[in-house]
Amino acid sequence: MENAHQAGMKVHPYTFRIDEGHVPGYAKDFEDFLNIFFYKADVDGVFTDFPDRAVNFLKEKKG
């Protein structure tokens, strides 16, 4: 991430899904999955089939 950002690139991984079997075992739930990528990995955005959940997550984090 650091190298990509230093090069002026934006990183948007895909596809973040909430369906059973799509949230990886290292995340408690969909919101934790987003938290890991936005606030630990420092991605710039994500592609998801559940944009309402991602937008609500980001709004709640900005408080």
- In tens digits, the chain (63 residues) has pLDDT values of 999 999 999 999 999 999 999 999 999 999 999 999 999 999 999 999 999 999 999 999 886
pTM: 0.90
Distance CA 45, CA 42 (A): 9
Does residue 23 contact residue 33 with C-beta atoms inside 8 Å?
yes
Residues 6+ apart with CB under 8 A from 20: none
Residue 47: which of 34, 36, 59 has the closest Cα?
34
